[in-house]
Structure 1
Amino acid sequence: MIAVSRSTTHTFTKPNQESIQLLTGLGVEGDSHMGKTVQHRSRVAVDPNQPNLRQIHLIHAELHDELQAAGFAVSAGQMGENITTRGINLLDLPTGTRLHLGNKAVVELTGLGNPCAQLDQFQTGLMAAVLDRDEHGKLIRKAGVMGIVAIGGEVRSGDRIQIELPPEPHQSLDRV
């Protein structure tokens, strides 16, 4: 992990922290998206009682590199992620993958982050830059992955991440 971030309010960016505390079944302690039920405003408006499958947002730093090469000024936490990784192809991991973070914490991946219009409010053109199409025309969402806290614990910048794949057959991550 190269950075951990949280925000107590529904701001787009999340300030980097030395460490964050993950709470089992809830998310990041003190983060505005923490809770058993959905906390994202657009989803609360639809159904405030749906389970929160978006407790933790992870983005790979390689996306920041790609965006910086395209002229965007982005860094860890600025796209709303709680955890910024490097060297892990998050988008290719299957649903149910468990990421062992630091000494104790475990995050289970639930799906892909769904880019929203706030990206363009942060920097014009950023939303289009995190969307792509494959050779068959299928939409590719590159704005990170979402997960739930399966086992809580303290997570720090610089901690190792171990990947535990779910049993086969694997199911590709989809929008949550």
Structure 2
Amino acid sequence: MNTIKAISISDRKGMRKKNIDSSTLIENFGLKNDAHGGKWHRQVSFLAQESINFMREKGLDVVAGNFAENITTEGINLVGLQVGSHLTMGECEIIISQLGKICHNRCAIYHQAGDCVMPREGIFGVVTRGGRISVGDTITIPGKISATAALIATGNDENEFGEELRRKITEKKAPAFIRFDSLDDKNRNLTQILTDLTETQKIDDIILFDPAGSYGLALSGFEKTDHKKNLYKKNSSTLHLCRTVDELFSVT
């Protein structure tokens, strides 16, 4: 049976979490009193008990919550789920927003546990309907898949145009969530971000905000459509390249 094996929270990010018997999922935030809650796309984290058991078999002294996951599941193939998949637990609903994660540095969890399975087998979600959850609750996968979107921009552009871009994306595409991926100072992580979004996350719509018109070379692996100059395709993802907010979806 697909169940909640453990519920864990912490007051700081990057630390082992403490187990609790029950908690409240807050819509568009995450678990009550957890440091990872907020209005972003990684509000709640999941890891399978089966993954923890595998690490224990390797000799690591780890238990549920040690990898900073909020909800430890049992009986579910988490890595087999698709981004946009719905999960229900009692009256609560969560939509899967990310598979795994890119770790740029060794975190405290890695140093404490000797390894970190979260980047490989952890998943994340957004809370679309809140309520009470408890250890032992059944987790249902109804098979519903919602549309997803990602916004790529620099931190400065996010601060200046982010709210307006999100509003327009929501109006035009109505995704279940909009994730934000921030470019570094010299945009060196753009290729890595695009690869993750198109090959691992398989996000439906990717918006690359390019006010300076300097990101074109990063799209060499994309297919440019013949009739819409700002539209590109790769795998199941559609990329919208725009230099201004008004340009976003203006020709779609």
User: TM-score, structure 2 length as denominator?
Assistant: 0.54
Query: CA–CA distance in 2 between the matches of 1:10 and 1:59?
Result: 16
Larger RCO (CA under 8 A, 6+ residues apart): 1
Unaligned runs of 5+ in 1: 37-51, 132-140
Query: CA–CA distance in 1 between the matches of 2:59 and 2:200?
Result: 28
The corresponding residue for 2:112 is: 122
Aligned with 1:160 (options 132, 135, 138)? 138
CA RMSD across the alignment:
2.5
Shift of 1:158: 0.5
Shift of 1:8: 2.0
Greater share of residues in helix = 2
User: Is the 1:14–1:81 Cα contact (8 Å) retained in structure 2?
Assistant: yes
Q: Does 1:70 align with 2:58?
A: yes
The corresponding residue for 1:2 is: 5
Query: CA–CA distance in 2 between the matches of 1:28 and 1:3?
Result: 13
Shift of 1:20: 1.3
Shift of 1:162: 0.3
**More displaced 10-residue stretch of structure 1: 112-121 or 88-97:** 112-121
Shift of 1:123: 2.5
Query: CA–CA distance in 2 between the matches of 1:35 and 1:168?
Result: 21
Matched-pair identity in %: 30
Counterparts in 2 of 1:175 and 1:16: CA distance versus 1, 3 Å: farther
Query: CA–CA distance in 2 between the matches of 1:14 and 1:153?
Result: 21
Shift of 1:113: 2.9
User: Is the 2:78–2:121 Cα contact (8 Å) retained in structure 1?
Assistant: no
The corresponding residue for 1:41 is: none
One-letter identity of the residue aligned with 2:136? G
Shift of 1:17: 0.5
Counterparts in 2 of 1:53 and 1:175: CA distance versus 1, 3 Å: farther
Secondary structure in structure 2 of the residue aligned to 1:13:
coil
Secondary structure in structure 2 of the residue aligned to 1:163:
coil
Counterparts in 2 of 1:167 and 1:155: CA distance versus 1, 3 Å: closer
User: TM-score, structure 1 length as denominator?
Assistant: 0.75
For residues 28-85 of structure 1, give each alpha carbon's deviation from its aligned partner in whole angstroms, at most 9, with x where no partner exists.
111111111xxxxxxxxxxxxxxx1100000000001110111111111110011000
Shift of 1:9: 2.3
Counterparts in 2 of 1:175 and 1:74: CA distance versus 1, 3 Å: farther
Aligned with 1:97 (options 79, 85, 105)? 85
The corresponding residue for 2:201 is: 174
The corresponding residue for 1:43 is: none
The corresponding residue for 1:23 is: 26
Counterparts in 2 of 1:10 and 1:55: CA distance versus 1, 3 Å: same
For residues 97-152 of structure 1, give each alpha carbon's deviation from its aligned partner in whole angstroms, at most 9, with x where no partner exists.
11101x2011110112326411321123x14xx39xxxxxxxxx523100000100
Query: CA–CA distance in 2 between the matches of 1:167 and 1:67?
Result: 31
For this pair of structures, how many residues does the alignment match? 147
Secondary structure in structure 2 of the residue aligned to 1:62:
helix
Unaligned runs of 5+ in 2: 148-197, 204-252
The corresponding residue for 2:94 is: 107
**More displaced 10-residue stretch of structure 1: 9-18 or 148-157:** 9-18
The corresponding residue for 1:147 is: 125
User: Is the 1:112–1:173 Cα contact (8 Å) retained in structure 2?
Assistant: yes
User: Is the 1:114–1:175 Cα contact (8 Å) retained in structure 2?
Assistant: no
